[in-house]
Structure 1
């Protein structure tokens, strides 16, 4: 059965986004423990592009399908897993990229919804935490997706978050979502 195309994020309300996220039923990859079969010859680039044998996978439905069977292993590696096989996949940074943001409310009542490059939608909060990794070249923002998998927040979305954080007037710049405060940097 082909996967339906993702809905137009811009036209969705946050209530619709929450409903879609709740309806997103994923395969039970954590309960599948097949033997390791080798390398998938696949790679996810830092910009979220999926490759197979060096060529980009250009069909969004294929990327969405593969993303549903992606799992993070206890050793930190990534695999594609089905009930009968497990294959390594190289991930340059994070397996997903948050490419769009929608904010609703203000202060502690704010809710932040993200659309990923795979079409998945998530609302930041206790189950989908934001974190900001300080690096020499600047902060790297991430959104927890599921079971050790994260989305790198695209630069344009990070700028939107930074604008929201600076507008909230808190001593420590940060954003609220679903009643959780996420500082954009650690306190000095």
Structure 2
């Protein structure tokens, strides 16, 4: 097994002021593990000033949330809506938040096995463990010129994690060409990165 670690985005401290945030923390705190948010359809309570930046950092009213436990708590009740927006959901309320890219960052990986038996296992900055497979596919999106191609993985529901750059470099030796396509095998599935002539850099 090969393991790569990347410094995690530090989740953080916030003074929980305002009834909306207080109530959300209280209700979310009663849950254990990822909540069944897909089963809940509470009233829409509007927008709360919470933002997840491109590096996976959470902010409330412009201030970073530094308490990792609080960030992980919020992550358990995060849901992506059909229109692409992100909401924090409990059985009692639904509050829209802002997400700059995707909510999570994959910060650590392990590769087990070889060939078609290989499994790519990722850990996110909020503690989710994800085995890349048909239910948790890897996708590639074009990034800025300096970024090349940017890999994302589905974590749960419609929520994705972007792979931290050091992990991308660690993955490169495991790419293989099949016909005119280059990709990566995990859990018996071949995830296409792109056509061989188009894949220049990751």
Please report the TM-score for the alignment, with normalisation by the length of structure 1.
Answer: 0.81
User: Any conservation in 2 of the 1:162–1:184 contact (CA below 8 Å)?
Assistant: no
RMSD between aligned residues: 1.9
Stretch deviating more after TM superposition (37-46 or 25-34): 25-34
The structure in which a higher percent of residues are strand is: 2
| Equivalent in the alignment of 2:109 | 101
1:120 Cα offset (Å): 1.1
- Unpaired runs of 5+ residues, structure 2, are 5-31, 198-202
User: Any conservation in 1 of the 2:78–2:88 contact (CA below 8 Å)?
Assistant: yes
| Equivalent in the alignment of 2:151 | 141
| Equivalent in the alignment of 1:86 | 94
- Unpaired runs of 5+ residues, structure 1, are 1-8, 11-23
Runs of 4+ in 1 over 6 A off after TM superposition: none
The CA distance in 2 between the partners of 1:33 and 1:82, in whole Å, is: 9
May I ask how many residue pairs the two structures share in their alignment? 165
Mapped pair 1:159 → 2:169: yes
Instruction: Note the alpha carbon deviations across 1:73-121, whole angstroms, 9 max, x for none.
Output: 1111000010111101100000111111100111111000001000111
Please report the TM-score for the alignment, with normalisation by the length of structure 2.
Answer: 0.76
